[in-house]
Amino acid sequence: MSGDRPQRKHIEGGSEMAREFEGKVALVTGAGSGIGRATAQALAEGGAEVMAADLSTEGGRETVELVEKEGGICHATAVDVTSASQVEQMVNQTIETFGRLDIAVNNAGIGGPSATIADYEEAAWRQVIDVNLIGVWLCMKYELAQMSKAGSGAIVNNSSILGLVGFPQASAYVSAKHGVVGLTKSAALEYSGQGIRINSVNPGFIETPLIESAGITPGSEMHEFLVGKHPAGRLGKPEEVAELILWLASDRASFVTGAAYLIDGGYVAQ
């Protein structure tokens, strides 16, 4: 986390495909854990210089260590995505550190409590919307201002299967994630003429601290129930979601914008 431009320590072999993000700068929010961390690691492995942003400074620092251990370039910044000034600072810091912004992965999110609508605490409901929907909008607001100036860019927002279907006792999360899908489509329409592509990923249940903190741990009744909801017969892995995020962020997805991409082991196909 020095002020100097970070230097790549060493590069292990790697095919042309593996280096497709060479020369690109990527910003990942929620990069201190789970899907965000896996995405930051994969982008760095592909040659990108990565800004790992997270509310947790410890999580961000750990991600930097993991990336640097593999010879990648990663810098951490602390951010609360519900704060406009902090989000603006995060984007500014990315430009100051790496000189540009090519890829943004708006991934930070929380699960929120499980409760039926009549029993849901108002403050908790607002908090989920604040982080999971307004946070994504704030990130795009400042990222797009930067990308517009450059006339290029790719944004991937992390929604969920619950951005496309409902789930009992998760009304705030489901509403926020549906909002992210709509926000993504509107943003794509506004910015496709400026060379910027904007898509969402819509993962099924993925084994990360987010679901663990809700008590969904292997062997628990809820874990078994959720495994049964995925025709693939298991929950997903963060690295699998990172694969899709990378493809959407890459030039290989050059004609893809405004789309919501399922990665759910067949959950929504039923």
Ligand X SMILES: NC(=O)c1ccc[n+]([C@@H]2O[C@H](COP(=O)([O-])OP(=O)(O)OC[C@H]3O[C@@H](n4cnc5c(N)ncnc54)[C@H](O)[C@@H]3O)[C@@H](O)[C@H]2O)c1
Return residues touching ligand X (CB under 6 A).
29-30, 32-36, 54-56, 59, 79-82, 107-110, 131, 135, 158, 160, 203, 205-206, 208-211
Considering the complex, state which of residue 8 and residue 126 has its C-beta at the smaller distance from ligand X: 126
CB of 53 to ligand X, least distance (A): 7
CB of 81 to ligand X, least distance (A): 4
Considering the complex, state which of residue 59 and residue 72 has its C-beta at the smaller distance from ligand X: 59
Which listed residue (120, 173, 191, 261) is catalytic? 173
Q: Is 191 a catalytic residue?
A: no
Considering the complex, state which of residue 56 and residue 194 has its C-beta at the smaller distance from ligand X: 56
Considering the complex, state which of residue 125 and residue 205 has its C-beta at the smaller distance from ligand X: 205
DSSP letters, the chain, are --SSPP---------TGGGTTTT-EEEEETTTSHHHHHHHHHHHHTT-EEEEEES-HHHHHHHHHHHHHTT-EEEEEE--TT-HHHHHHHHHHHHHHHS---EEEE--------B-GGG--HHHHHHHHIIIIIHHHHHHHHHHHHHHHHT-EEEEEE--GGGTS--TTBHHHHHHHHHHHHHHHHHHHHHGGGTEEEEEEEE--B-SHHHHTTT--TTSHHHHHHHHHSTTSS-B-HHHHHHHHHHHHSGGGTT--S-EEEESTTGGG-
CB of 46 to ligand X, least distance (A): 19
Which residue in this structure is represented by tokens 């506004």?
190
Considering the complex, state which of residue 24 and residue 230 has its C-beta at the smaller distance from ligand X: 230
CB of 153 to ligand X, least distance (A): 20
Considering the complex, state which of residue 35 and residue 101 has its C-beta at the smaller distance from ligand X: 35
Nearest to 80 by CA among 110, 114, 102, 100: 110
CB of 102 to ligand X, least distance (A): 21
113-120: long-range contacts (C-beta < 8 A, 24 or more apart)? 114/169, 114/170, 114/214, 115/169, 116/168, 116/169, 117/171, 120/171, 120/172
Do 141 and 90 form a contact (C-beta atoms < 8 A)? no
CB of 207 to ligand X, least distance (A): 7
Which sequence positions are flagged as catalytic? Answer: 173
